[in-house]
Chains A and B, each alone.
Chain A
Amino acid sequence: MIILQITGAILVILGLVFFLGAAVGVVRFPDFYSRMHAAGKGDTLSTILMLLGIVCFLIADVPWAAVIHGDFSLLVEPILTSIKVLMIALLIMVTSPTSTHALMQAGYDSGIKPHLSEADDDSTPSDEETPTP
């Protein structure tokens, strides 16, 4: 069971690393669309990884010694909780890309231009609404 716990810890830390990537991307990227790219992907992946790590911890917490002796009623609650956490991961996998898509569409609708020029790359990372082409 120590292996499951180590796996869970690694998954949670990996999720934190991806979230660090998303956070750096949200601060450093030059325009709205690339920020949305960093936020959407890093956020979804880190959330799913952390929830999977938590599922590993939950399964490791089951008193397996009693279960092997035939007391299966101890399995009910941890497995129900694990299924719910996996359900959250699944729903985030569906809804988070959709909201990213919807916000991209909203950015296009509100008239934000993408950051295309290489010249003013290091001048101002946080551009205004209409950068010069």
Chain B
Amino acid sequence: MELFFKLAGMALFVLMLPIFYRLIAGPNAMDRILAVNVIGTKTTVLLVIIGMIFARVGMFVDFALAYALLNFIGSLAAARYYHQDRLRQERGAS
């Protein structure tokens, strides 16, 4: 079972590589923020998987939960930034 979770964690790391490609090559900032969002969600799973590998899930699940709660704030802030930026430009134009 430990080996299974190690392989699953490695598979998650390998599957993150395409997302990293989008992070490096993304044509504009929004694509990079998308990649950040995907990697942030996957980090929660990776934390729980590391807990399974060490057989101490009760300890690791606490900050996986904190992560799942807080990860949402970053993308919300980016969305607010673009919204306010557009409003500011419209205000400047009119």
Does a CB–CB distance below 8 Å link A and B in the complex? yes
**Residue in A5, A50, A80, A91 whose CB lies within 8 Å of B1:** A5
A84-B62, A85-B57 given; A22·B1 CB < 8 A: no
Contacts of B12 in A (CB 8 A): 16, 19
Cβ < 8 Å to B, chain A residues 12-51 = 12-13, 15-16, 19-20, 22-24, 26-27, 32, 35-36, 39, 43-44, 47, 50-51
Complex CA gap A96/B79 in Å reads 14
Interface bits B62-86 vs A (CB < 8 Å: 1, else 0):
1011001101100110110111011
A54-B48, A54-B52 given; A99·B75 CB < 8 A: yes
For the side of the interface on B, what is the size category? 35 or more
Number of interface residues of A (CB under 8 A): 52
Which 6 A-B pairs have CB atoms at the shortest separation, nearest pair first? Answer: A102-B79, A106-B82, A95-B72, A99-B75, A23-B18, A106-B79
Q: Are B38 and A129 within 8 A (Cβ)?
A: no
**Residue in B15, B25, B30, B37 whose CB lies within 8 Å of A32:** B30
Cβ of A58 < 8 Å from any Cβ of B? yes
Contacts of B94 in A (CB 8 A): none
Interface bits B1-40 vs A (CB < 8 Å: 1, else 0):
1001000100110011111011001111111011101100
A19-B42, A54-B48 given; A110·B64 CB < 8 A: no
Contacts of B37 in A (CB 8 A): 39, 43, 99-100, 103
Q: Are A92 and B8 within 8 A (Cβ)?
A: no
Contacts of B75 in A (CB 8 A): 99, 102-103
Cβ of A109 < 8 Å from any Cβ of B? yes
User: What's the nearest-Cβ distance from chain B to residue A19, in Å?
Assistant: 5
Contacts of B81 in A (CB 8 A): 106
Contacts of A51 in B (CB 8 A): 45, 48
User: What's the nearest-Cβ distance from chain A to residue B39, in Å?
Assistant: 10
User: What's the nearest-Cβ distance from chain A to residue B70, in Å?
Assistant: 10
Contacts of B44 in A (CB 8 A): 47, 88, 92
Q: Are B15 and A126 within 8 A (Cβ)?
A: no
Complex CA gap A105/B19 in Å reads 21
